[in-house]
Amino acid sequence: MHFLHRCSSSSVFCVIGEGNFCSVASLHRLLIKVPPLDRFQTSELALKLSGLLWELCLISDIYSPALSGMASRSYTSFLDLATGGLLDYPPTPRGLPRVMTVPGVVRESNGGALESPSSIHHDRKIIVANFLPINGRKDTEMGKWSFSLDDDSLLLHVKEGFTAETEVLYVGSLKVDVDVDEQEEVSQRLLEEFKCVPTFLPPDLQRKFYHGFCKQYLWPLFHYMLPMSPDHGSRFDRTLWQAYVSANKLFADKVVEVSSPEEDFVWVHDYHLLLLPTFLRRRFPRAKLGFFLHSPFPSSEIYSTLPVRDEILKAFLNSDLIGFHTFDYARHFLSCCSRMLGLDYASKRGHLGIDYYGRTVYVKILAVGIHLHRLESALNQPSASLKVKGIQKQFEGRKMILGVDDMDIFKGISLKLLAMEQLLFQHPEMRGKVVLVQIVNPARSTGKDVEEAKHETYETTRRINETYGDQGYQPVILIDRPLPLFEKTAYYAAAEVCIVNAVRDGLNLIPYKYIVCRQGSPKLDEAMNISPGSPHSSMLVVSEFIGCSPSLSGAIRVNPWNIDAVAEALNQAIKMPDIEKQLRHEKHYRYVSSHDVAYWARSFMLDLERACKDHYTKRYWGMGFGLGFRVLALSPSFRKLSVEFIVSVYKRTSRRAIFLDYDGTLVPKSAINKTPCLEVISLLNSLCDDPNNTVFIVSGRGRLPLDEWFAPCGKLGIAAEHGYFVRWNRSLNWETGLVGVDNDWKKIAEPVMRLYTETTDGSYIDAKESALVWHHQDSDPDFGSCQAKELLDHLESVLSNEPVAVTRGHQIVEVKPQGVSKGVVAEKVISTLSNDGKAPDFILCIGDDKSDEEMFESISVGPTSVMPEIFACTVGQKPSKAKYYLNDTGHVLQLLEGLASATTVKPETNTAQVRGLSVHIPVSFER
């Protein structure tokens, strides 16, 4: 039996015989043997076949015992996943075999993407979340399902931020279990009636994924709770992690089924689906992907304890835009990227961005808003007016403090109750005049911690009421049942003060809802005996550890752990003058009413469109296996430098200039011994012995080590310290690039650098003849970067009148004379040759770092009377001004070997003086 699988958007088919599964290595060998394909086509084919293997190793339509055995043996190395039964879960049913992506165009999908023609514009947004905004219930007697939209779901209302022509499609799971034989029918119905695409997770997978890894591990960790012992949080469980990976893969499959990657925008929500961007980016390198994290993002000290921290960070970075509620959360994320992945970020025209393999991943900071009109509609219901009258009568003559929280250990309910107890203790006059109404929403998860929090809440409430209550008065009223929206709005409207005392929370919309309800409505004002046109007021006491706190500048911010301070804040809120309450309320209402959920969705999507606008101006290459996958974005003209091609050009040219960097080009950066090997010396001598060649080593190193290392190369030109010292060959003296420049500036700069070295552990100064370099790669990433910025400002200030340039590079701050750079060296060499009537018709420049980019740029505009063949080549596949690349130093030596073998003049002898010894250098380079 054979299986035929078609790769997405490709004419490539993979035929697999049962029991004859090809390995990863054999696939790569197969790619190498495809002669008609160029490097770009081969890369694209490799990406598609890697995606195919990914599907085969995880969850596939062609699941069989043979495949299961193959996958379980291979995915530990191929996918970089832990061993375990990822394939124990049955595949999700293909409930959507045919989906009309544009009017009149229907595509069949065989495990690939549903595509619509790029010529037809179709504005569609795909919202992906753990749960669909759908309520479902099955009539046990009739056996029929009934579904309705969940108006409480925030994501249901994001479409109000889009244009009327925008189609919004939701992908997620249902909150109820659906039998396997009913799933296809339910899928079709939800798509047709609600534009929802359900992802059905097997019950065991759902339990391990949601109630296991999400709620028992990720949720506490993201809220700063470490599992220090089995009694306090769940420790990392590899089986639960495998379930999390599998669930994210199933969600990705559903998105792939219904998405048109060239046109659709995919917006993924929250910590349940952190890996989704990696799965989707693998399938669609140019997918338009946004991700918003609704929970806090912990500090690097907390996040670094996560055993799969790198995989999750890299998944984040496979998005085009990442959203956070507050700058604190974004700052923690950026710090983790810096400390764990070595990535820097910068503000680009007001937008935070991370350069990641040629792509810019943008970071957006904007708190989500509420659905204003739904609350206003609830306030106008007659039932809300009746309820608020009842509440006023129940608490007549008393001030009501309101708390609304989920039953969760992070909501701080017990701390709030202790603050209420302290208020009644410190202010006896408040007894009988103030009441705390605590509404407890149902817990979203189960476990020992939830039960303990519930028990503590009830015990503390009982103790307070027994101590400070009397007949007809209970200081704390606990409402532990689901409340309809109209009833909650009535409590909001009647409350004098609202307190949100969470010890850690992503955003918390309770304060926003309270403000809107206190603004009231004509019908509610009438029920509350508020005269038309009268000013409204509200008073908030909020924890400084919740996401909405920065946006509520008029609230009293508290540390929830400081019981006395919270009690005093409640006392201050109750006794505050009405005019001040009104002013604070007006300020809050202006913000909340203008920053609703529609504004949030519209703003995020506009930024996502801007982040994706350059998708089709670059070529994308897939790199890495498993959860380490990412895409490399390069210029369409960027290609690997073929040895055969450059040798053919080399042979037909007569005057050649060759510029070679040293570290990272001729010797690996990771090498401990930086001395050039005999092979390098021999190659350079072969090239230099051709009178038609001018060969230069252009390095940032000092002239002394370069002079020693390349002593056997008598005809080799050397430019040391980025060109400050230049020597055309060993028989000539060193020249300085700048004449008449003294180094008096060092007397000013060096003491400043020493000061920062003493205060920055791990930093050091590299004193060169022409320059001073302050290195901080071994210091704390955040502190080192901060100190580098301060040092840069300090040096620019004290050296403002000196003829030097102060620059900041990757983990360095450098001071060097103005007009010194590798680019200037290349220009001068080419100019000198041209002035001597030897204008080069062949220019080769190879380098690997930022300083070499100046050479790449300068050789393309150098002063020459002829149009030379120019080869600017960087080492490594990365964004560059060069048009060519070589993979590593080994490939550089292979290229130089090819050029040396093509040289017209051969050296008479292979004997060179290396450090005073006569050494025979072999000319055969078998690798």
Give the residue among 158, 127, 126 at the shortest CA–CA distance from 270.
127
Q: Which of the four pLDDT bands, split at 50, 70 and 90, describes residue 863? A: low
CA angle 56, 59, 63 (to 5 degrees): 70
pLDDT of 912 over the 90 cut? no
Helix (H, G, I), strand (E, B) or coil at 515: helix
pLDDT of 261 over the 80 cut? no
- Alpha-carbon torsion 665, 668, 670, 671, what sign? negative
Q: How far apart are CA 422 and CA 571, in angstroms?
A: 10
Q: Euclidean distance between the first and final Cα of the chain, in Å? A: 43
* Residue pair 95/184 in contact by the 8 Å Cβ criterion: yes
Q: How far apart are CA 167 and CA 164, in angstroms?
A: 8
pLDDT of 112 over the 60 cut? no
Phi, psi of 636 (to 5 degrees): -60, -25
User: Which of the pair, 67 or 221, is modelled with greater confidence?
Assistant: 221
- Non-local CB neighbours of 343 within 8 Å, separated by 6+ positions: 317, 337, 354, 355, 356
Report pLDDT for 744: 87
Residue with tokens 């080069």: 840
pLDDT of 619 over the 80 cut? yes
Helix (H, G, I), strand (E, B) or coil at 217: helix
Average pLDDT, the chain: 83
Q: Which of the four pLDDT bands, split at 50, 70 and 90, describes residue 342? A: confident
Give the residue among 761, 771, 819 at the shortest CA–CA distance from 795.
771
Query: Two tokens at 902?
Result: 């093509």
Report pLDDT for 76: 30
Crossing angle, helix 276-283 and helix 39-57, to 10 degrees? Answer: 130
Residue with tokens 């509350």: 528
Listed in sequence order, the DSSP H helices in 213-299 are 219-222, 238-258, 276-283
Residue with tokens 């027994």: 466
* Residue pair 26/40 in contact by the 8 Å Cβ criterion: no
Residue with tokens 């596949």: 877
Q: How far is CA 480 from CA 435, 439, 477, 485, in A?
A: 16, 6, 10, 15
Q: How far apart are CA 413 and CA 405, in angstroms?
A: 7
Q: How far apart are CA 233 and CA 387, in angstroms?
A: 40
Q: What average pLDDT does the segment 194-221 reach?
A: 94
Report pLDDT for 140: 79
Q: How far is CA 674 from CA 221, 680, 726, 914, in A?
A: 44, 12, 21, 15
100-109, 252-261, 731-740, 777-786: which range is least confident on average? 100-109
pLDDT of 585 over the 90 cut? yes
Report pLDDT for 279: 95
Report pLDDT for 485: 93
Percent of the chain with pLDDT over 90: 61
Q: How many helices (H) and strands (E) does the chain have?
A: 29, 38
pLDDT of 414 over the 50 cut? yes
Query: Two tokens at 842?
Result: 């062949």
Q: Which of the four pLDDT bands, split at 50, 70 and 90, describes residue 865? A: low
84-93, 461-470, 830-839: which range is least confident on average? 84-93
pLDDT of 205 over the 80 cut? yes
Query: Two tokens at 33?
Result: 């043997």
User: Which of the pair, 48 or 849, is modelled with greater confidence?
Assistant: 849
Q: What average pLDDT does the segment 758-772 reach?
A: 91
Q: How far apart are CA 739 and CA 212, in angstroms?
A: 70
DSSP string, 323-367: EESSHHHHHHHHHHHHHHH---EEEETTEEEEEETTEEEEEEE--
Q: How far is CA 752 from CA 755, 783, 805, in A?
A: 5, 17, 15
Report pLDDT for 633: 86
Report pLDDT for 660: 95
Q: What average pLDDT does the segment 81-103 reach?
A: 41
Q: How far apart are CA 77 and CA 856, in angstroms?
A: 39
Q: How many CA atoms lie within 13 A of 747 on its CB side?
A: 3
Report pLDDT for 874: 92
89-98, 675-684, 841-850: which range is least confident on average? 89-98
Q: How far apart are CA 773 and CA 664, in angstroms?
A: 19
Report pLDDT for 413: 94
* Residue pair 401/437 in contact by the 8 Å Cβ criterion: yes
Report pLDDT for 358: 86
- Non-local CB neighbours of 339 within 8 Å, separated by 6+ positions: 300, 304, 781, 782
- Non-local CB neighbours of 41 within 8 Å, separated by 6+ positions: none
User: Which of the pair, 349 or 714, is modelled with greater confidence?
Assistant: 714
Report pLDDT for 61: 33
Pairing outcome for strands 911-914 and 917-920 = antiparallel
Report pLDDT for 378: 92
Q: Which of the four pLDDT bands, split at 50, 70 and 90, describes residue 737? A: low
pLDDT of 89 over the 90 cut? no
Q: How many CA atoms lie within 13 A of 556 on its CB side?
A: 23
Q: Which of the four pLDDT bands, split at 50, 70 and 90, describes residue 622? A: confident
Question: Per residue in 741-755, pLDDT tens?
Answer: 678 899 999 999 999
* Residue pair 101/76 in contact by the 8 Å Cβ criterion: no
pLDDT of 233 over the 90 cut? no
pLDDT of 14 over the 70 cut? no
Give the residue among 224, 219, 51 at the shortest CA–CA distance from 130.
219
Residue with tokens 């993924």: 268
- Alpha-carbon torsion 595, 597, 602, 603, what sign? positive
pLDDT of 705 over the 90 cut? yes
Q: Which of the four pLDDT bands, split at 50, 70 and 90, describes residue 54? A: very low
Global pTM reads: 0.77
Q: What average pLDDT does the segment 62-74 reach?
A: 31
Q: What average pLDDT does the segment 476-489 reach?
A: 94
Q: Which of the four pLDDT bands, split at 50, 70 and 90, describes residue 307? A: very high
* Residue pair 722/700 in contact by the 8 Å Cβ criterion: yes
Q: How far is CA 452 from CA 232, 407, 710, 796, in A?
A: 11, 10, 73, 59
227-241, 242-256, 686-700: which range is least confident on average? 227-241
Report pLDDT for 81: 37
Using left for φ > 0, alpha for ψ between -120 and 50, and beta otherwise, residue 125 falls in beta
In what helix (H) or strand (E) does residue 14 lie, and over which residues does it extend? strand 13-17
DSSP string, 584-638: HHHHHHHHHHHS-HHHHHHHHHHHHHHHTTTGGGSEEEEESSGGG-EEEEE-TT-
Report pLDDT for 632: 86
pLDDT of 70 over the 60 cut? no
Q: What average pLDDT does the segment 692-713 reach?
A: 93
- Non-local CB neighbours of 396 within 8 Å, separated by 6+ positions: none
- Non-local CB neighbours of 514 within 8 Å, separated by 6+ positions: 402, 492, 495, 498, 538, 540
Q: What average pLDDT does the segment 336-352 reach?
A: 87
Q: What average pLDDT does the segment 779-805 reach?
A: 90
pLDDT of 593 over the 50 cut? yes
Using left for φ > 0, alpha for ψ between -120 and 50, and beta otherwise, residue 768 falls in beta
Q: Which of the four pLDDT bands, split at 50, 70 and 90, describes residue 862? A: low
Percent of the chain with pLDDT over 70: 82
Give the residue among 883, 374, 316 at the shortest CA–CA distance from 642.
883
Report pLDDT for 842: 94
Q: What average pLDDT does the segment 516-541 reach?
A: 92
102-117 in b/e burial notation, b at 16+ Cβ within 10 A? beeeebebebbbbbbe
* Residue pair 286/616 in contact by the 8 Å Cβ criterion: yes
Amino acid at 247: A
Distance of CA 602 to the CA centre of its chain: 21
Q: How far apart are CA 90 and CA 777, in angstroms?
A: 48
Q: How far apart are CA 512 and CA 592, in angstroms?
A: 6
Residue 360 bridge partners (DSSP) = 355
- Alpha-carbon torsion 608, 610, 611, 617, what sign? positive
Q: How far apart are CA 779 and CA 748, in angstroms?
A: 24
